[in-house]
Each structure stands twice: as C-alpha cells, then as structure tokens.
Structure 1
Amino acid sequence: MNEIKFIEELKKLNISSEQNKLLKLKKYYEILIEKNKVMNLTAITEIDEVYLKHFYDSLTISKIIDLNLYETFCDIGTGAGFPGIVIKIFYPHLKVTLIESMTKRVEFLKYVIKELELKDIEVINARAEEYAKTNRELFDIVTARAVANINILLEYSIPLVKIGKYFVAMKGKKEEVSTSCLNLLNTSRAKIESFNLLNGDERTLYLFLKQNKTPIKYPRKYNEIKKKNL
C-alpha cells in the first residue's frame, strides 16, 4: 500500500489525511525502521507492508466506532505503538495512554512521541493486569491489538473502561467470546465487524459495552488468568 492508496483508503474510513499527519506518519516509519535494526520492534519492514499491516490496520478501528466522539483512549500492549500512536496522529484531540510491559519498547515509544512532538499522550511501563488494579474506569475507549485470547483481553481491559463506554478488540480470524466472561465482567457484546485487508488478510473487530462496575477481583493475577480463562 503506497501513500496514494493509503490516502484513498482513509477517505473510505472518513479519516482526514492532512499533510502534517502524513509527514508525522512518514517520520514514524523512518524511526521504526532505524530503531528496528537494534531492537525487536517488527518483522514487517517494507514501506508498503508497514503502511498496510500496521498503519492502515490500526485505523480500521474506525469501522466499528467513531473516535471523534470520545476524549480518552487507552492501548493495551501497544508494542511499537500500534494502534495507539497511529490513532494519536490521526485523532489529535484524543488523550492517549499507551501500556507496554517491555522497558526497551517503552523507551522507543517515548522517543517517537518526542520526535513527532505529540501532545497529551503518555506511556505506562506496566503489565495490563497490574495497571488495571489501581486505574479503574478511566477511559472512554480501550483497545488491544494483541495475539492473546479474546477472553483474556476482556479481563485485562474491561476494568479500565468507564461505565457506558467501550472496549475494542482488534483480531485476525473470528474467535469465540465466552458468555460467562461477559456476564462476570458486567459487559455485553455490542457489535462485530469482519473484513479483509487489501492483501486478503482476515480481520475481525469486536466492540464491547461496559454496563456496570467491574468486580474488584478482576483482573486476576497473570498466572491465574493463564491457568483458567473466564
């Protein structure tokens, strides 16, 4: 996906692509590739592939929710900043929190934020389940683009979501969502959107509505979560 095609596809998502945003994105790509030489940030390095599988893919969240209507956004397990930093570039009004457990990646994210001169964005060096214990119901939108099972992601994420707001899971193929998990977390499944990237890769977006406070015992400790999903 070259930049021209990228812009065309953003129009279909009703996302504006002003020159300053595109320049920040290009600089982000350059930093990513340079730092990737000494860090394990991404296996995808060709520019067209990065624009499709990282940048555009991050923005497909707009297929299931209009981020213009919200103020606070949290990205769990952001890694090299996908989707969080891409979202911040194209939705600059959002106050963004990135959660990442690996210290080297946290340092990379802080460097990117400084170089791109992004405002109202912070990086938290923590595991999601630990952060969620003491930072409950802070965000309008929480998302995860991680490989973990969707029921695990729900337990990590829902405690962070404000009552009446949303968690978006950005996944590949469809996964089975546990009804008991949703009930225990006082959450309902609001919408599912399935589609394919231009290269044919499958994508599935899940939108979950938090209906009431999350019981204080969730999220459990990491070992308990891994041993038995809700």
Structure 2
Amino acid sequence: MIETEAAARAWLATLPEFDSQAQDRLDLLVKLTREENQRQNLVSAGSLEHVWTRHIVDSAQLLRFVPRETSSPWMDLGTGAGFPGLVIAALRPECEVVMVESRTRRVEWLQRAADAMGLRSAKVIGARLETIPSAPRACISARAFAPLGKLLNLSARFSTSDTVWVLPKGMSAQQELDNLRNWRHTFHVEHSVTDPQAGIIVGTLTGGKGSTT
C-alpha cells in the first residue's frame, strides 16, 4: 500500500503513461488545486497534505484496469474537483476525456485547469447527467457520485458491452456490488493501492437490465 507522498510519486513513475510532460501537468494540477481550494472547497483542506496519495494516485490507479488500446472517449461522471477526470486527462492527453459536472463553479474550475494544462482533448460538460444525449463511451468512471444501482440507472445508456467501468467506492464497494440486482454484468472488486479498506468496482455491463449473472 502507498502510504507516503514520496511513495506516491515513485508509484506514478512506474505507469506506462508517465513521462516528464505528465509530471509537469500533474505538478501544475496540484498547484492549481491548492490555489483554488482557497476560493472554493474543492477538497478537504486536510487531504491536501497528502494530495499525491489521496487524489492523484487514487485517481491514476484506475488506469491499471483500462487497456491502453481502449479507444476514447472516457466519461467521468460528477467530476467535481477533477478527480479522477483531470488526472486521467493529464496522463493520457491524447484520449478524449469527457467530464460531466452540474455545479457552475466546479465547471469553471475544470475548464480553467484543463486549459492551463494544455489538455486539448479534455471536454467539460456543464449539465446534469440526465440531460446529456446518449452516446457510447469506451470507459466510464465515477468517484463518490452515486450508489451503484442509481449510477447504473442514470448512466447505463452510455455503455456498450465493451465499455469498461472503473468506480472507486471506498469501503462500500463489496457491499454495493452484493446489493446490486437486475443487471447483467461482469463487475468485481479490486483493492485500492492507497487504502487497504477501499475497493474499486471494475467490469462491464453485458446487457440491459435483466437477471444477474
């Protein structure tokens, strides 16, 4: 498990997506997040003391479960402060990352940060998820957005049988998966590298609502 900021930075350097330019983008994201957190409460002040572990690596670890050859776009639901959306975009700048956020100030922040990092393929949609037209996505992520059942009800229309879902769920991951009913899926729980008690739900939907597999 990654416990220190130094260990977090060292872990990032092992990613295939990591290079000096990615490091520069992530350094800038940390700097911008600290500054913006003085103006609006993006994340808890205490978590910024461990920003590389709590936010950067916690987001970047999702790339472990998405094959590099997976085509874009990547859709991040309820992006909020930019985790994991901005981190994914910083590490895969060639990938179209669509960040969905309904809160105006957060939308403005996401756009400013993406522009500052030169993330030309990153897109911010300032709207409620329910109002966004359906379109297939290669990958869907959501961090602290909604319970699993509700999340699927809202967003399954963006998924195909090839769409990879990566959903950080903290301590509730296995319970949420155990409680899921009436969806055909291949979901399972992976352990987080930043918290031994946290889990990430990973997998695909193999069809619409129906009997579970």
With normalisation by structure 1, the TM-score equals 0.79
In structure 1, the partner of 2:12 is: 10
For residues 69 and 147 of structure 1, do their structure 2 counterparts lie closer, same or farther at Cα, with a shift above 3 Å needed? closer
Between the aligned residues of both structures, percent identity stands at: 24
Conserved in 2, the CA contact under 8 Å of 1:158 and 1:167?
Answer: no
Conserved in 2, the CA contact under 8 Å of 1:68 and 1:91?
Answer: no
1:82-97 map, 5 Å? 82-97=83-98
Aligned partners of 2:98, 2:163: CA distance in 1, in Å? 16
- SS class of match (2:162): strand
- SS class of match (1:163): coil
RMSD across aligned C-alpha pairs, in angstroms?
Answer: 2.3
Q: CA deviation at 1:210?
A: 2.5
Q: CA deviation at 1:63?
A: 3.4
Say if 2:24 is the partner of 1:34: no
In structure 2, the partner of 1:219 is: none
Code of the residue aligned with 1:167 in structure 2: it is: W
What are the superposed Cα offsets for residues 174-217 of structure 1, whole Å, 9 maximum, x if unpaired? Answer: 323344341xxxx40343212452xx4522111231223679xx
What is the aligned counterpart of 1:191 among 188, 191, 213?
A: 188
1:184-223 map, 5 Å? 187-197=184-194, 200=195, 202-212=197-207
Q: CA deviation at 1:48?
A: 4.8
Identify which range, 98-107 or 201-210, moves more after superposition.
Answer: 201-210
Query: How many residues are aligned here?
Result: 204
With normalisation by structure 2, the TM-score equals 0.85
Q: CA deviation at 1:167?
A: 1.9
Aligned partners of 1:63, 1:158: CA distance in 2, in Å? 22
Unaligned runs of 5+ in 2: none
In structure 2, the partner of 1:52 is: 53
Aligned partners of 1:15, 1:51: CA distance in 2, in Å? 18
For residues 86 and 68 of structure 1, do their structure 2 counterparts lie closer, same or farther at Cα, with a shift above 3 Å needed? farther
Identify which range, 97-106 or 26-35, moves more after superposition.
Answer: 26-35
Unaligned runs of 5+ in 1: 216-230
What are the superposed Cα offsets for residues 131-153 of structure 1, whole Å, 9 maximum, x if unpaired? Answer: 2xx223x2110110115212112
Q: CA deviation at 1:127?
A: 1.5
Q: CA deviation at 1:17?
A: 2.4
In structure 1, the partner of 2:153 is: 155
For residues 69 and 164 of structure 1, do their structure 2 counterparts lie closer, same or farther at Cα, with a shift above 3 Å needed? closer
